[in-house]
Structure 1
Amino acid sequence: MTLYILRRIVQVIPTFFGATLLAFVIIQLTPGNFTDRFALDPNADAQQLERLRENFGLNQPVAIQFFKWIWGIISHGYLGESFTYRAPVTTIILPLIVNSFSLALISLVLTYLLAIPIGIYQAVRQHSFGDQALSFLSVAGLAIPNFFFILLLIVVVLFFQSDLRQVAAGDAWYKPLLSFFTYDLKNGLALPVGGMRTSEIYDGLAWWQQIGDRLWHLVLPTIVITTGGLSSLVRVVRGQVLDFLQADFIRTARAKGLVERTVIYKHLLRNAISPVISGIGTVLPELVTGAGLVEFVYRWPGITPGFVAAIQQKDLYVVMGLLVLSAIFLMIGNLISDVLLALIDPRIRYS
């Protein structure tokens, strides 16, 4: 296994180098650079602009810029300096990555915790009312566009938070929900529709309350991402379990008189969901880098908003830093998937 992992790491080095070179060249081919904004100033001096380009290294050929940058990564892990913030790229993008990773990890855990038992339930009770109802919800979850569901959640939350609705609610069926959506900020944390923390009270909270505040802001983004992943993963788990329900080893286990729960969760489950579990390695980096729309609408300061802002500002090394780390996440994810598959399925061995 160790030899296999080392061989895979060696194999991804050319891929990593080629991908970063291609991205660097494409970015450099776009019109203009970071200093162009200063050239629009009527008081700008040509010599000052040239010195600025020289300080940033933008007056050098693209090949030299790339190899200097890649050598900084290889020699001491330096991703360059942000043109906008005049600070190391790592200090700029690390908080963005942590924010996106926390959102993706929580969503991934919830997705798997819900999808596996639901998929098993549907497969064991195939064609029942519960199976058909859950299948309908899965299809609906796949059919509803992400942007529509994002906006729908915001509308629902604002509906319950409206003072007018509180007054008019009376004894309406949804009145208990009002305490959840409209809890007083001074006494607790209202369900937020954007941002990463409650600015009005955050600094006055204890450390554990600050963690709770950030988790509270994750509720709506997590619901959106989990719903999308759940709709597809449930169908995969259901199909995998159905494929094994009539397998010979399952019939043998039943013939021995084993309890159905033991048959399902001890004998069938390990074989049926091994591809599902092994996919965690690739799903997590995809969630980290692919939750862009959710991060934008809910104003969650993650990778995608930072990436777009860096492109707009033509902050070359911030863009490249985010691309490099996204590529590393994906490569590590693929490796983790292979390792998990070998650990879960004893029939698979790597040499």
Structure 2
Amino acid sequence: MFKYIIKRIAQAIPLLIAITAICFTLINLAPYDAVDAITTPKMTREEIRSKREEYGLNDPVPVQYIRWVQNICKGELGYSLVKHTKIEDDLKEKIPNTIKLVLPSYMTAFILAIIIGLFAAYHKNQKIDRVINTAASAGLAVPTFWLALLAIYLFGCKLDLLPIMGMHKIGDNSFGDFMLHFIMPYCVLVIGFLSDLIRYVRSSAITQLGEDYVLVQKAFGASKKEILFKHVMWNVLLPMVTKLGMSLPMLVTGAVITETVFSWPGIGVYFVKAISSLDYPIVMSILVLSGSLVILGNLLSDVLCALIDPRIRIEK
């Protein structure tokens, strides 16, 4: 297992290099220069040229890329062009706020999806299954931002039950105030995550119900409920563990739209503001972070599957 993990990490290094190269290339192909975010019409050409020299933008592109990658390897993500703050300090502040929102939402949706998906598979082609499948399809079709705006209108404006933006009221950092701000974005994210997960569990469970081991259990007199929850469920959990590992990037970038709508002070608002203000160092840092989490999530899902299923360890 240890050799396998080392091998996978070694395979991830070229992928990380490719991610940094793609991010850097795409940013450099953008129609606006990074200096455009900090220049004003009153600046002279000499002042603009001085700014470009200060940020190293007059150097050849390969030199800029190598310098940027070297800084990343040192843990130095650079400074914001607009606010002149250290990007790593901003991320240390924003990422925990995003995790506080996304992690409980996704884990709630994950657990509910297993229960509801198995229940739908148990009642395949019956009325309750059609209702669940229709609701899940509708949930996939409804945009998250529309659902968030609807929640704000109903519970924030019309009924005036919940605050509509932020994570705390100014001057109130209590847990109760946090929960009031947390409820609406949490529910929106749970609904957004739940639809896809339910269909995934239902499809996997129906596939497993057609396997030979199910026929063997039926031949031994096992009930359908016993087969579903004692045998099928554990085989369904294996692909769900893979999906759980691949969802790791969601902890950072999984709620960009929802955070923006609710003005939740996490990575989402930070990322959108960086894009709108052409703050390219922040954009590149978040893209590289997200891509790295995809690779790490893939590695974690493989390791978890190998720990859960002995057959995978034998194959490896």
Deviates more, 1:11-20 or 1:252-261: 252-261
Q: 1:249 to 1:39 in 2, by over 3 A?
A: closer
Q: Which residue of 2 aligns with 1:299?
A: 263
Q: 1:48 to 1:161 in 2, by over 3 A?
A: same
The separation in 2 between residues aligned to 1:158 and 1:3, in whole angstroms, is: 54
Q: 1:19 to 1:331 in 2, by over 3 A?
A: same
The separation in 2 between residues aligned to 1:196 and 1:331, in whole angstroms, is: 30
| Letter of the 1:231 counterpart | S
Q: Which residue of 1 aligns with 2:52?
A: 53
Q: Which residue of 1 aligns with 2:277?
A: 313
Q: CA deviation at 1:111?
A: 0.8
Contact 1:274 1:341 in 2 (8 A): yes
The separation in 2 between residues aligned to 1:244 and 1:326, in whole angstroms, is: 33
Q: CA deviation at 1:309?
A: 1.9
- SS of 2:249's partner is helix
Q: CA deviation at 1:103?
A: 2.3
The separation in 1 between residues aligned to 2:273 and 2:226, in whole angstroms, is: 53
Q: Which residue of 1 aligns with 2:72?
A: 73
Which 5+ residue runs of structure 2 have no aligned equivalent?
none
Q: CA deviation at 1:52?
A: 3.0
Please point out which of 194, 198, 205 is paired with 2:165: 194
Deviations 1:86-114 (A, max 9, x none): 23220122323222333221121011110
Say yes or no: does 1:101 pair with 2:99. yes
Contact 1:196 1:301 in 2 (8 A): yes
Deviates more, 1:218-227 or 1:251-260: 251-260
Q: Which residue of 2 aligns with 1:91?
A: 89
| Letter of the 1:67 counterpart | I
Please point out which of 156, 165, 183 is paired with 1:158: 156
Q: 1:48 to 1:277 in 2, by over 3 A?
A: same
| Letter of the 2:22 counterpart | L
| Letter of the 1:95 counterpart | E
Output the TM-score relative to the length of structure 1.
Answer: 0.80
The separation in 1 between residues aligned to 2:25 and 2:280, in whole angstroms, is: 11
| Letter of the 1:195 counterpart | G
1:1-351 aligned within 5 A:
1-36=1-36, 39-42=39-42, 44-74=43-73, 76-158=74-156, 161-162=159-160, 181=161, 191-199=162-170, 201-203=171-173, 205=174, 209=175, 212-256=176-220, 262-286=226-250, 288-349=252-313, 351=316
Deviations 1:3-58 (A, max 9, x none): 1221111112122112212221221233443434554343x354444433332222
Q: CA deviation at 1:241?
A: 1.8
Q: What is the total number of aligned residue pairs between the two structures?
A: 315
Q: Answer with 1 or 2: which has the greater Rg.
A: 1
Q: 1:192 to 1:11 in 2, by over 3 A?
A: same
Q: Cα RMSD over matched residues?
A: 2.5
Deviations 1:152-174 (A, max 9, x none): 21222136525xxxxxxxxxxxx
| Letter of the 2:6 counterpart | L
Which 5+ residue runs of structure 1 have no aligned equivalent?
163-180, 182-190
Deviates more, 1:151-160 or 1:250-259: 250-259
- SS of 1:80's partner is coil
- SS of 1:323's partner is helix
The separation in 2 between residues aligned to 1:333 and 1:111, in whole angstroms, is: 18
Q: 1:55 to 1:242 in 2, by over 3 A?
A: same
